[in-house]
Amino acid sequence: LAAFTRLVGLRFIPVIDPNISATYESFLRRTCETVVKVEKRDDTGGFLKTRLQMVQQLCASTPHAYWTNQYGNPDAVDAHYHLTAGDICAEFDSLDYVFIGVSTGGTIAGVSRRLKERYPNVQIIAVDTEGSVIFGDAPKKRHIPGVGSSIVPPLLSEALIDDVVLIPERETVAACRELLVTHGLFAGGSSGTAFAAIKRYASKLFRSTVLFLCADRGTPYLDTVFDPTWASRLP
């Protein structure tokens, strides 16, 4: 979004928090005139509610401001219904299980609805991280961005979900490393979380066609998930 708005001549103000990777923060500061970073944790131990409050303040104080609102914009559901799920339907004759990491809810809402139409018996498995409140887990401090949330995103109500798996962050780290070392797939935190859920389901997946979405690459996580010293400090 930062690159696109610059391309079309719009001013983009990203609102970030300390959990952002150093790589992404560096990119945003080189691309955007203004970057707002919140430091105060919200009542769940995360930063999302603080960021959303800052977004509201910026919208109120900035003339002609528009907030894309990835947590409640139905266009996100439509995009994943037509594009992401459309590509999946074009590639697979059948699917038994699909594992999708959840944060804003847009991906799982759009993909699940399209895949349930195309493959009526497919099982949609929502994957979340421990400490995220999306599926009712007790809130706690989280360290890996890209999966989980401090709120229940409105878009989640559009999703068709058969089961939910919660993954601790240490398990995410181990899964990311396994994807890289064993399978040659350099993927980020949400991808590792989804893969960890597949491993939990392994006994049920014999002769099944299984899909999981890798929404991020591993590069922004080199200093966190792929750093043994950083990972050793996880609770």
Residue 175's identity, in one-letter code, is A
Picking from 11, 200, 27, the residue whose alpha carbon sits closest to that of residue 97 is 200
pLDDT at 192: 97
Architecture per CATH, domain 74-221, reads as 3-Layer(aba) Sandwich (3.40)
Q: Residue 101: is it exposed, middle or buried by C-beta count within 10 angstroms (0-12/13-18/19+)?
A: buried
74-221 shares the fold of 2-61:
yes
Instruction: From the options 2.40.128.20, 3.30.360.10, 3.40.50.1100, 3.30.2130.10, give the CATH code of 2-61.
Output: 3.40.50.1100
Q: In the chain, which stretches have pLDDT less than 50?
A: none
Strand, coil or helix: what is 101?
strand
pLDDT at 46: 87
Strand, coil or helix: what is 164?
strand
Report the distance separating Cα 102 and Cα 149, nearest Å: 8
pLDDT at 44: 87
Query: E strands of the chain, at which residues?
Result: 15-16, 36-37, 97-101, 123-129, 163-167, 210-212
Residue 91's identity, in one-letter code, is E
Q: What is the dihedral of CA 119, 162, 199, 207, to 10 degrees?
A: -40
pLDDT per position as a tens digit, 30-53: 999 999 999 999 988 889 999 999
How many other β-carbons are positioned within 10 Å of the β-carbon of residue 25? 17
Domain ranges of the chain: 2-61, 74-221
pLDDT at 95: 98
pTM: 0.91
